[in-house]
Structure 1
Amino acid sequence: MDFDALIIGGGACGLMCAVQAGFLGKRTLILERNAQVGAKILISGGGRCNYTNLNTSANNFISANPHFVKSALSQWTVNDTISFFESYGIYGAEKTLGQLFPESNKAKDIVQVFISLCQQLAQKIYVNSTVTDVQKAADGFEVFYEQGSKKQSIKVPKVVFASGGLPIAKMGATDFALRMAKKMALQIEKTAPALVPLTITGNQQSFFANLSGNAIFSRVSLPHISFEENILFTHWGLSGPAILQISSYWRPGDILEIDLLPKNNIIDLIEAERKINGKKSLGVFLTRFYTKKFVEALANEIPLPKNLASLSKTELQTIHQLFHHFKVKPAGDKGYDKAEVMRGGVSTDELSSKTLESKQVAGLYFGGECVDVTGWLGGYNFQWAWASGFVIAQHI
């Protein structure tokens, strides 16, 4: 069969690319290594799929070139995403911080839109197909792949890498796009897990284990950025939305500062309570804001049995420091199996921001997670995937 392009990977970027190419009368073939397309879409947001974010801008992405995403995000906007899915019966329900989920809360509805459209537009999908090599040919590329024990190859004029990054190997994630990019002498920005829980070891570990299971609205900060959302204490360290967000910026050795009561000043609250009931113990007072389990875990840090009226200046300073400037030095992260996305990837210096075509290898395109563009938690990575798939489709 004659195809205008071969797309490696049937995830968000690859599926959007195939559909948009189909709208333009182009024929594509998706090679997907899993038994079905959209594997990561199906598990995203706990199976509900946070498919975009109303607040999307270039500021919500991490890249060696922070301006790179602007072209794609302007060619395919959040409104375009919303209109596209509404056209096929999927209406968004806004949750916190601009996050948009299908009203049905079913990620499979998103995937079904693409499967149906690929069928209607005669876009081919081969599942259980693992691409093993891509070689430059005189009139395009030869792509080698395996279907079961069967080794095959196909010649195509253009190739799109939409094969994702390293997170969640059990969902079919590999470094294939990065390996092929390196083979073709393209520069790679150093990769690492992103949107990932952080681990605590050493003398702080037992303290965190005692706090395990507590979720607290907090502000988590590094010198240049902070996020206000829930954090979750676990027996191995820290998780929750604010931690996942900051993890994309965290580097080994960095110290996080956590404000456990970002909307108030703990000392002002104590002073106000003193006037009403100075005999109340600090421990009882703190249960207004935190679980009893969390408060009890602080017994070695602050004088919980003492009544508010008798707290000394030094003790108040200790309390203030603990709740507003809680410092922690993570030992590491939980790795790619627990990461939602990958940081780094094919360098944006290698790609045209307008077309996402390789500057060095004509006819070679990279989109989605394998590119050095990493979105915040909350639908931003999907918006980049849809946008990059759309942009590539215009040019293949």
Structure 2
Amino acid sequence: MTANLTKQTDFDAIIIGGGACGLMCAVQAGFLGKRTLIMEKADRVGAKILISGGGRCNYTNLYASAQQFISQNEHFCKSAFAQWTVEDTISFFETYGVTGKEKTLGQLFPVSDKAKDIVKVFTDLCHDMEQEIWCDTEVKGIDQTGDGFTITYERNGREQQINTAKVVIASGGLPVQKMGATDFGLRVGRKFGMAITETAPALVPLTITGKDQPWYEQLSGSSIFCRVWNDRISFEENILFTHWGLSGPAILQISSYWKPGEYIYLDLLPDKNIEDLIQQEREVNGKKMLLSLLATLYTRKFAEALSDHLPVEKNLASLSKADIEAISQLIHEFRVKPAGDKGYDKAEVMRGGVSTDELSSKTLEAKKLPGLYFGGECVDVTGWLGGYNFQWAWACGFVIAQSL
């Protein structure tokens, strides 16, 4: 198909990707009197926003700071967060009718519990400021030209081209393919000689295979509050047993810090000491069976599952010192060696991406190629679960817009 070159001079920048970063960038550029065009591959913008948080959208976190982000350069995100704060996010959405409510651990959701309210803020503002949005538009390639860039794209069944002085890559990461996710941002980076930090699924369930799988499978659907840790970090939140392994907030969190072949550890009773509980109970009723004690701490189903590992047929008085030490180790240091993870289609985000060494931390412009910007998930900055990645996306959109 012959490409039709469209001369275009009325856009200050073209934004590739109509997700959180791209939408914020278009709106903030509009506030500054700049005109942008969003090219979105899907049939609507904000697709990932709409499914986040079960359709409720945890759009920021009250405690967001550089400490909750993983990157080869832990300081890189500080500049963006200094320019666009959590308070800025809250104020922005409140100005346009979305008030937040805190659920747990600083997680902020719209009072309406409707992610579509977040997207509507952006689509309304884009409409009011005449920021163009083209959906069902797939960018095929970007080429550097003398005075900027030529973008080749397919729209309405036709392959066409458009010229622009500045391009913003806000195309997301590899999760979730059924939502239209691709490696487009990484491919653009590679094409222009930029380093890519190794990518992997993050905030993703972990799998258990082999002889241990049946034990997890029998607990499928059971949830328990735990401390989950490795030698780098720990989290205290619920875990969820599944027929293929482990999920739940604490597991998703630790998955970003887990590498294949490593163990993770679970404290199944993080707020109490099992040895103390055994000692206290045996003084009152030494004939009480260990299983009965465990059934007061967990569901009966979970207590019985622990029977596979513990001397539950013994009463408390007959437990030896070695027995109690073994019980304590199992309860407070339950060792898990995941076989792998559930991959990008079950991951919340992608870890890694365009190397921060390639970008200005102040503007997110490519150092080697002025006029080309990268923001959001395709950059090597990955947040924790709980609204952190949205805060990064909003900050990126704001920062990039300032220098378009």
**Do the structures match in fold with TM over 0.5?**
yes
> For 2:141, which of 103, 110, 133 is the aligned residue?
133
Which residue among 153, 156, 162 is the counterpart of 2:161?
A: 153
Q: CA deviation at 1:126?
A: 0.2
Matched with 2:205 is: 197
What residue is the counterpart of 1:54 in the other structure? 62
Code of the residue aligned with 2:354 in structure 1: it is V
Amino acid at match of 1:39: A
* Aligned-residue offset at 1:312: 1.6
- What is the DSSP-based 3-state SS (H/G/I as helix, E as strand, rest coil) of the residue aligned with 2:187? helix
Correspondences of 1:379-390 after superposition (within 5 Å): 379-390=387-398
Write the deviation string for residues 286-314 of structure 1: whole angstroms up to 9, x where unpaired: 11221111111122211223221221212
Q: CA separation in 2, counterparts of 1:122 and 1:172?
A: 26
State the alpha-carbon separation in 2 of the partners of residues 132 and 152 from structure 1.
Answer: 10
AA matched with 1:76: W
The whole-number CA distance in structure 1 between the counterparts of 2:166 and 2:34 is: 12
Per-residue deviation, 1:148:
3.8
1:368 shift after superposition = 0.2
1:138 deviates by 0.8
Partners of 2:332 and 2:270 in 1: CA distance = 7
Question: Paired residue for 1:67, among 69, 75, 87?
Answer: 75
Return the letter of the residue paired with 2:360. S
The one of 193, 210, 214 equivalent to 1:206 is 214
The aligned counterpart of 1:79 is: 87
Cα distance in structure 1, aligned partners of 2:48 and 2:141: 23
Q: 1:51 offset after TM fit, Å?
A: 0.3
- Cα distance, 1:214 vs. partner? 1.3
Inter-partner Cα distance in structure 1 for 2:157 and 2:286: 77
Counterpart-to-counterpart distance in 2, 1:125 and 1:133: 18
SS of residue in 2 equivalent to 1:211 = coil
Q: Which residue number corresponds to residue 338 of structure 2?
A: 330
| Structure 1 letter corresponding to 2:203 | L
Residue 235 of structure 1 and its aligned partner are, at CA, apart by: 1.1
The C-alpha deviation readout for 1:105-151, integer Å capped at 9, x for no partner, is 00000000000000001100000001000000111100111114211
Does structure 1 retain, via aligned residues, the 8 Å contact 2:232–2:257?
Answer: no
Q: For 1:100, give the aligned amino acid.
A: L
The CA RMSD over aligned residues, in Å, is: 0.8
Q: Name the aligned partner's letter for residue 379 of structure 1.
A: G
Check the 8 A contact 2:21/2:394 in 1, yes or no: yes
Give 1:186's aligned residue.
194
Residue aligning to 2:33:
25
Structure 1 residue 275: deviation in Å?
A: 1.8
Alignment partner, residue 103 of structure 1: 111
Match among 92, 97, 101 for residue 93 of structure 1: 101
Give the one of 147, 156, 164 matched to 2:172. Answer: 164
Partners of 1:106 and 1:289 lie apart in 2 by 36
- The corresponding residue for 1:308 is 316
Equivalents in 1 of 2:95, 2:305: separation in Å? 52
Counterpart position of 1:235: 243
Tell me the distance in 1 between the aligned counterparts of 2:367 and 2:328.
54
1:252-277 residue CA offsets vs partner (Å, 9 max, x unmatched): 11111111111111110111111222
Kept in 1, the 8 Å contact 2:199–2:350? The answer is yes
One of 241, 251, 257 as aligned partner of 2:259:
251
Structure 1 residue ranges, 4+ long, deviating more than 6 angstroms after superposition? none
Question: How do 1:6-17 residues align onto structure 2 when only pairs under 5 Å count?
Answer: 6-17=14-25
1:224 matched to 2:227: no
CA contact (8 A) 2:20 2:394 kept: yes
- TM-score normalised over the length of structure 2: 0.97
- What letter matches 2:244 in structure 1? W
**How many pairs are equivalent?**
396
Question: What amino acid is aligned across from residue 122 of structure 2 in structure 1?
Answer: F
SS, match of residue 101 in structure 1 = strand
Q: Calculate the TM-score normalised by the size of structure 1.
A: 0.99
Identity %: 68
Q: Which runs of 5+ in 2 are unaligned?
A: 1-7
Alignment partner for residue 368 of structure 1, among 376, 382, 387?
376
SS in 1 for 2:297: coil
1:283-322 aligned at under 5 Å gives the runs 283-322=291-330
What is the CA–CA distance in structure 2 between the aligned matches of 1:132 and 1:281, rounded to whole Å?
A: 67
Equivalent residue runs for 1:333-344 within 5 Å? 333-344=341-352
CA distance in 2, matches of 1:301, 1:181: 50
Cα displacement (A) at 1:278 = 1.9
Give 3-state SS (helix, strand or coil) of 1:163's partner.
coil
**Cα distance per residue 1:185-222 (max 9 Å; x no partner):** 01100000000000111121111112221111111111
- Compare 222-231 and 71-80 and name the one that shifted more: 222-231
Q: Which residue of 2 aligns with 1:260?
A: 268
Q: Which moved more, 1:217-226 or 1:337-346?
A: 217-226
Q: Report SS of the residue matched to 1:97.
A: coil
1:73-107, Cα deviation, whole Å (9 max, x unpaired): 01000000000000011111001110000000000
Following TM superposition, by how much is the alpha carbon of 1:161 offset from its aligned partner in structure 2, in angstroms?
0.1
